């Protein structure tokens, strides 16, 4: 049986199966973080953290 490769989630930093998350450019967000982000309100204190993590995607891309 083929087992999916693990990808490092840019939000929580954990390694999760690559088929259980979201790939944006060359970055990966695991399914649980993706769900949390979707449910996180803009007014939530965790929201800036997610935005910050997401920005790293574009930082990586521009370097
Ligand atoms: Zn994660």
26 CA distance to ligand 1 centroid (A)? 15
> Tell me, what's the pLDDT at 57?
73
pLDDT in tens, 5-55: 899 999 999 999 989 999 888 889 999 999 998 899 989 999 898 888 888
Q: What's the 10 CA to ligand 1 centre distance in angstroms?
A: 7
pLDDT of residue 56: 78
**How many Å lie between the centroid of ligand 1 and the Cα of residue 8?**
8
Beta strands per DSSP E along the chain: 6-8, 15-17, 21-24, 27-30
DSSP 9: B
pLDDT at 43: 93
Residue 1 has pLDDT above 70, yes or no: no
Total-model pTM: 0.71
Q: Phi and psi for 47 in degrees, rounded to 5? A: -60, -45
Mean pLDDT across 54-62: 72
- CA–centroid distance, residue 6 to ligand 1 (Å): 12
């Amino acid at each position: 049986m083929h087992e999916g490769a693990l990808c490092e989630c840019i939000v929580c930093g954990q390694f999760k199966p690559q088929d259980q998350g979201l790939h944006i450019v060359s970055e990966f967000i695991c399914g649980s973080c993706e769900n949390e982000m979707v449910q996180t309100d803009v007014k939530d204190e965790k929201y800036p953290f997610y935005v910050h993590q997401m920005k790293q995607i574009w930082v990586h891309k521009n370097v």
